[in-house]
Homo-oligomer: A and B are copies of this chain.
Amino acid sequence: MRSVLRYGLLGLLSEGPASGYDLAQRFKTSLNAVWPVSHPQVYTELVKMASESLVTVDPSGTRGRKVYAITASGKTEVQRWLTSSDIDRTLRSESLFRVFFFWLMKNEDLHQHLEQEKQYFTTQATRYQAIGKAKENGEYGMGPSVASARLAVEAGARLYGALAEWAQWVIDNEDSKETGQGR
């Protein structure tokens, strides 16, 4: 099952033509949170897609820009992906991976780590809440793609909110053990 990069690019191009640089930037500012990509990856994939005529290239943009546009077969391809039901639903996370090995950490180090994690999660949660508010106030325009992004942001806010609460729960658990309240 091929990576989602291709479909992300086709999805972004569905909003209108853009250069590789544009696409890499837009990946970095929004999609990066759930699927990081690097710019060489974007450029090479665009070339590949052009050779499969999923996109067209107009190399006459200003400042050497190459403007890509989605084709009809590109549109069918992204549609096919969106309606295909074989999704990899794994939630990959190095943070959660570490949790399995908390028992190897010294109490002191673990406590510090948990505080950091909680800090990070709450920051992210409030950040996404703020972005969500801003999107509702139309600060990003009001196209259909913005409405979808709003949904994604809401998911982020809820996820990081849940993780922040979880971190607090773990900290409380630790404390009750140490003070012997559970005896």
Query: Which A residues lie at the B interface, using CB under 8 A?
Result: 4, 7-8, 11, 14, 30-31, 33-36, 78-79, 82-83, 85, 87-105, 109, 113, 116, 120, 144-145, 147-149, 151-152, 154-156, 158-159, 161-163, 165-166, 169-170, 173
Contact = CB atoms under 8 A, between A and B. Distances in A.
B89 A148 contact: no
Contacts of A4: 94, 97
A151 B170 contact: yes
Given A8-B100, A159-B163, 9 more contacts: A31-B97, A33-B91, A34-B93, A78-B101, A82-B109, A83-B109, A89-B93, A91-B91, A154-B169
A83 to B, nearest CB: 5
For this chain, the copies found in one complex come to 2
A148 B99 contact: yes
Contact of A152 (B30, B99, B104, B154): B99
B91 A34 contact: yes
A148 B94 CA distance: 15
Contacts of A149: 100
B158 A163 contact: yes
Contact of A92 (B79, B91, B144, B166): B91
B90 A33 contact: yes
B35 A97 contact: yes
A102 B159 contact: no
